Structure formats: structure tokens, C-alpha cells
Structure 1
């Protein structure tokens, strides 16, 4: 089998061949019940569920591919709710003609991230559509996680809290801009795509109170902060010079006239914590090499008009608006 055919979606021999020869070598030991339509599992306690769809182009990018992205992205949505990711459901929409070697490459990435995250596959589905109906491959995921750090909400921001970011921003969005065929920039910049739970677990197990937590994906830092101020009816002031930014990312943004605050990340989170707890939170985060750039970038203030304010090194302030329009389609 060199490529996916329409017959691979007929539910018969060709479907079985696709599943058994292509999918199962990578996923069989991770799936709960290979031969059941609806696997069962036992649960007690408080859980959270997140559904996401992945349509990124190109399928393989600097720092990852759609396989790595779909596992990390879905697990991260659960993690930032204070949950430990446990189970994943996956649906694959395959375009007729999709090359089997490419599909295997993506499945291998999925396998690697599932093992890394200690995630179990509850169920998996495949559909094949005629050529041109989708662009090669779309993946839908649903992640289920158990809450181990309750009380996290975008409605819990109050005056006196600090805003912390875990790493340099905008690397995912900037690297994709550089990769797209119409923008011929040479760069070694990679996506920041990664699992966030290993970074967050020590914080969750500490006695620190986390008020709000979010992964800064589509719309980047600007989107997260604007959602927070509107949910909690507060003002957030961010110091521009404190926001960690790689020189390559800064250069790409300057060349293309982009604001890094609005570009997507796939391995960066923002959290709100009491000012007095910020040093301890940073100490915990920086103990992990992948969060060595974590820093406090601003604070929360009372204000009758929700707003995000960006203050530069000279003390001048401007409103940081939520992103508008489509900067770069299909980034995740």
C-alpha cells in the first residue's frame, strides 16, 4: 500500500488493511480496546475534557509535525485547567492519495508523544474523503484529564496578582511564517511545540495558589490577556522589555511587520499568581531546563474598564488589543 485510497474508507478489507498495517504497528499497545466501538473506563473525582481539531500546513514543520502537535495541543488544554492528561480519543480525516510513508511518519510522532505523556488511547476513527475534499490530513482529538489543581479559572484574576510567562514567545507562529512558500526566509527557528504538563506538575503539587492559567496558542499572549481581563473585569499591565523574545523571532516580526504578542505558541503558558508567590513559582519553573526563560512580565490591577496595557522601557503605555483578522491561517 503506497497511498490511501477511497476503498480504505469502506469499512471492509481495505479499511482493515489500513488499520492493521499502518496504524496498529504504532498505536496498538496504546489503545484501550482495539476491537471495540466504545471502550469502557472507570473514573472517580473531578475531570476536565477538551476537544480540538488540527489542520496545520505544512504537515511537517521545524520542531514538529501534525502528529506531535495534536497530542501536545490537546493534552495542554487539559493541563492548563489543572488536570493531568490521561486519555485521548482521535479521529483522522484522510485525503485520497495521502502517501503512506508520510502517514507513518506522523503516526510515529503520535506514538512518541503518547508514550512521553503517559496517555492512553480510548478510541480511534478513520475516514477517507475524495481528493481535494481536505488538504492531505486533518486530525480531531478529545483529551480527558483528572483535576489535581482545582480552582483555576479566567474569572479569578484580582489586583495584586503577578503575570508570569513560561518561555520566549511567538516561535511557533514566526517559524511557520518563515516556512510558508510565499515567504522565503532562511532561519533555524523552530516551533516551541511541547507537552506542558511536565513543567506544570511541580507547580500543581506545590502549595501555591494558581488563579489563572492558559496556553498561549492562537492569538498568542495578546489573546490570552484580553480574554482574562474581559472575564475578570480587571486591568493587566505588561512591561514590554520583560517579555522574553528570541532574536530570530524578533527579526522575522520586524521584517514582516508583525507583533510577536499576537503570534501563536504551542509550548508556552501564562499564569496569574499572588505577587508574594511569584518568586517561588519561578524557582520551581526554572528548575526545569525547558522553562529556564520563565519570568514575571506584569501585574493585575483594579479597573472599571477591562484593558491590557503594554508599557515600554521609557514608560510610555499603549493598549494591547486582541488580534483581529487572520494573520496566518492553519497554524494548528
Structure 2
């Protein structure tokens, strides 16, 4: 079985062999130029993001590190109201990594990028000695053209409605169960998916949407707290309105996990003015990816506190997660 060797990172013939593997799937005219920098044609205000992916296991129900790296970058741009256009990819590969596994990951990235309508236009590969990395690390950067201006964690206003585009916790439970070999008797797949087309559908309501965020590490809890503090507002969410799969609820009860802190990789939290909240929901539900969209709360004057009304009618503070809740979920 062929594996990555240090010579593959040396810049010689072996490096060219690996390069051919990337170009086999990353089939873009700009990338094929193999220049030190790519020349891009962009008009208008742009959004720019970068991220790194170190998930373990690299393959999990509903996705893999390659799909995750593309979706994560696309979604970070989308959450700022931008339509993703270009992505760079960089790989740090440990000596001994299987070439067939690398090819599966590259193929997954190519398919995900094509499905999202984004172009992989530049990249880099480094090979490090065995034991100096955990198999494979991927770094991505992305550029998008802003279509919904003013989207910011600092722009949420009192009376805004809080909307979630689907069930929460799917990714966190999927990854944990696979990594730890847990037999939870539940069938949960990661929600890993690009969100740019969801955001494109919301462009007609752009002047009434104030903030968006994909609730990844730290889940819904971290996302709401970060935005509440940034905008100096209080928030109240309703446990009965938060969409969660029964399988995720059951897994959390078995493992003693807080659903609100679980990672998501294919959901958006949206803050809109109350006048268009129902319109936002209608637009979202027209997309099969967002059929479980719901209004889960509202925003009030305040100084950064998030409350949840429980199914029992009591209230509790939803605090920022402390410590490492679920390592290596993205």
C-alpha cells in the first residue's frame, strides 16, 4: 500500500506526483497555472476567512475532514452575508499517511466545492516526519462577495427574533460516537453541509437581517453568548421550540451532555427584525436543507445575558461553555 514519504514534500519528482493527484480532482483553470499566487477577478466588497481542520476521526457518518474543510470555509463566509467564490487549501501530511485515504479526502473536497459552486484556486502541501502530526491537517482560506451588507455580531437589536435553520447537535453526537466507538443504538449523521445557497435565498430580505452565525464549536450556547455580549443585549430562547432529533436527545441523556453546547456544521443562527421573521422561516423551509427551521427566541435590552425558558416553565441562564466539551469536532 502506497504511503506518503518525506520525499513527497521535497519539491522534486515525488512532489510532482502528489501534485498530479491534487490536480486530478481540483480541476480549475486558475489552479492549473501553478503560479505562486492566483489572480482573481473580484468586484465589490469582499469577505475573507481562514480556518484549520484537525478532526478525529477523519471519516464520520455524514462527512469527513475534506468535506468539513470546504463546508466550514463556505459557511463562515455565508454567515457574514457573502457568496463564497474562491478557496485555498493547504495540507500538512504526516510521513506514512496512506495515499488511498488522501485521495478519498481530496475527492470529497472537490465534490463538495463543486456542489457549493466555489472554486479551489490555490494551495500548498507540506510533509512532516512521522510522529510530528496527527496524520493530516488541512488549512483553508476563502473569499466571498458580500451580498447582505451589515451582517455582524455587533448589529443585533432588541425585538429581533432568533431563528435556527434546523436540528442541533447532530455533528457533535455523530463525531463523538464514531471516535469513541460508542454503541448508543442511535442513527445520527453529521449535518455537515454548505450554507451559501441558503443565504442567497435570503438576499431579498437583506435590510432586515442583522446577524448570522454557524454554531460550530461550543454550539448554540457559545454562539448566543458571543453575540449577546458583542451587541450588548439580552436574549431569551424557548427549550420547547429548539429542534432536536430524538436520537440526539437520547444520546445526550446517556452521556450527560448539554445539547446546547454540541457542535453543528450545517446550521445557521439568524437574527432578523420581527416584521420579517415569518418570511425568513418561509424562505428557509422552501429549502429541503432547512425544513426544520424555527423561531426559537427573541432579543431584549440588556448587557449580554442569555436565558432559556425550560419545558417546565422555569428559566435558567445559558452560559458560555467552560473547558473542552467535545475535542476535535472540526
Kept in 1: contact 2:233–2:301 (CA 8 A): yes
Cα RMSD for the two superposed structures: 1.3
Structure 2 residue matching 1:52: 3-state secondary structure? strand
* CA positional deviation for 1:213: 0.4
CA distance in 2, matches of 1:133, 1:174: 29
CA distance in 2, matches of 1:216, 1:163: 13
Residue equivalent to 2:127: 128
Residue equivalent to 2:319: 321
Residue equivalent to 2:251: 252
Kept in 2: contact 1:168–1:245 (CA 8 A): yes
* CA positional deviation for 1:208: 5.2
* CA positional deviation for 1:32: 3.2
* CA positional deviation for 1:40: 1.0
Structure 2 residue matching 1:19: 3-state secondary structure? helix
Residue equivalent to 1:155: 154
* CA positional deviation for 1:315: 2.1
Structure 2 residue matching 1:271: 3-state secondary structure? strand
How do 1:23-62 residues align onto structure 2 when only pairs under 5 Å count? 23-29=22-28, 31-62=30-61
* CA positional deviation for 1:299: 0.2
Residue equivalent to 1:6: 6
Aligned residues: 330
CA distance in 2, matches of 1:152, 1:35: 35
CA distance in 2, matches of 1:143, 1:39: 13
The normalised TM-score by structure 1 is 0.96
* CA positional deviation for 1:76: 0.5
How do 1:81-92 residues align onto structure 2 when only pairs under 5 Å count? 81-92=80-91
The normalised TM-score by structure 2 is 0.97
Residue equivalent to 2:184: 185
How do 1:227-238 residues align onto structure 2 when only pairs under 5 Å count? 227-238=226-237
Runs of 4+ with deviation above 4 angstroms: none
Query: Per-residue CA shift, 1:126-171, capped at 9, x if unaligned?
Result: 0000111111110000000000110111111121110000000010
1:310 is the counterpart of 2:318: no
CA distance in 2, matches of 1:221, 1:312: 15
Query: Per-residue CA shift, 1:56-77, capped at 9, x if unaligned?
Result: 0111100000110000000100
Residue equivalent to 1:71: 70
CA distance in 2, matches of 1:44, 1:276: 32
Query: Per-residue CA shift, 1:276-316, capped at 9, x if unaligned?
Result: 2111110000011110100000000012x320001013321
How do 1:206-285 residues align onto structure 2 when only pairs under 5 Å count? 206=205, 209-285=208-284
Query: Per-residue CA shift, 1:205-231, capped at 9, x if unaligned?
Result: 345511110001000000110001100
* CA positional deviation for 1:182: 5.4
CA distance in 1, matches of 2:312, 2:64: 41
CA distance in 2, matches of 1:177, 1:114: 26
Residue equivalent to 1:103: 102
* CA positional deviation for 1:30: 6.0
Query: Per-residue CA shift, 1:231-280, capped at 9, x if unaligned?
Result: 01110000011000000100110001000100100001101111121111
Task: Name the CA shift for 1:182/1:115 in 2 (closer, same or farther; >3 Å).
Answer: closer
Which structure 2 residue ranges, 5 or more long, are not aligned?
Answer: none
CA distance in 2, matches of 1:35, 1:161: 47
CA distance in 1, matches of 2:61, 2:30: 28
Q: Which moved more, 1:161-170 or 1:149-158?
A: 149-158
Which structure 1 residue ranges, 5 or more long, are not aligned?
Answer: none
Kept in 2: contact 1:5–1:128 (CA 8 A): yes
Structure 1 residue matching 2:88: 3-state secondary structure? strand
